[in-house]
Amino acid sequence: MKKLFALIISVALVFCIMSISASADDASENITVNDGQTVFIFENGVSSEMQSRFIADYYNLDDNGAETYGLTCTLLGHKLESTNTITITHKVRATSPRCLKEYFTFEACSRCDYTNTTLIHSEYISCC
């Protein structure tokens, strides 16, 4: 009985160590997408689908078009994935600081078209 207990504890510890190692990600390695005038900086690990959805949402900020909700989302609510994104739009102002840097949080449902973009902060920076 004691041996079985010790075995279970050991397996649990190994799983814990594996989990901790897997979550130790380097957060400073961001993903940058350059779209001409605007640069999108995503957190490390953000899927390309999330990136595309954010960019589409960014360019359609005033669009209140219809979104399709699945039946599952209607019954159980959305299955949301969220990420933080920075955008830098170059040469917005005539004089320095010329470029507009904006911080967003972005949520998207993995089951339907629902998205939600929230502007956290914006500032003019000098990078050009």
Q: Is residue 3 close enough to count as binding another protein by CB under 8 A?
A: no
As to burial, measured by CB atoms within 10 angstroms (0-12 exposed, 13-18 middle, 19+ buried), residue 47 is middle
For residues 55 and 78, which CB has a smaller minimum distance to another protein in the complex? 78
Q: CB of 19: closest distance to another protein in angstroms?
A: 12
What is the rounded CA–CA span in Å between residue 104 and residue 54? 10
Give the per-residue contact string, 63-92, with another protein (x = CB under 8 A; - = no): -------------xxxxx---x-x------
DSSP H or E segment with residue 8: helix 2-23
Q: Is residue 29 close enough to count as binding another protein by CB under 8 A?
A: yes
Q: CB of 23: closest distance to another protein in angstroms?
A: 7
Q: Is residue 109 close enough to count as binding another protein by CB under 8 A?
A: yes
CB within 8 Å of 46: residues ≥ 6 apart: 31, 83, 85
Q: CB of 9: closest distance to another protein in angstroms?
A: 19
Span near another protein by CB under 8 A; candidates 9-17, 48-56, 58-66, 118-126: 118-126
CB within 8 Å of 99: residues ≥ 6 apart: 88, 89, 90, 91, 92, 93, 124, 125, 126, 127, 128
Tokens found for residue 113: 């078209």
Q: CB of 48: closest distance to another protein in angstroms?
A: 19
Q: Is residue 51 close enough to count as binding another protein by CB under 8 A?
A: no
